[in-house]
Amino acid sequence: MCHHLIAYGMEKKHGRHIDTHAGVSHLLRELGEKDIADAFDMIGSLRQGRFYGGKGDGPTVKKTIEIIDRIQRWADK
């Protein structure tokens, strides 16, 4: 979901995006979007560490939703 929001926001703001997850953070930083790059990286580490590690919990879900909301607000600006 975040990747799709970021692709939409990047296309809207910068006229380009990446279709795969690889390189998204790098391109965001290159375009001056460090906060969104950091948010995307955080989603990735929450997903890997919690979901795949079987350690899902309420605070992690809350943090994930907050990050998704931040990315969505950025994409909609």
Per residue in 6-55, pLDDT tens? 999 999 999 998 888 889 999 999 999 999 999 999 988 886 655 555 55
Print the SS3 string covering the chain.
Answer: CHHHHHHHHHHHHHCCCCCCCCCHHHHHHHCCCHHHHHHHHHHHHHHHHHHCCCCCCHHHHHHHHHHHHHHHHHHHC
Q: Which domain holds residue 49?
A: 2-76
Which pTM does this prediction carry?
A: 0.81
- Looking at the structure of the chain, the number of domains it has is 1
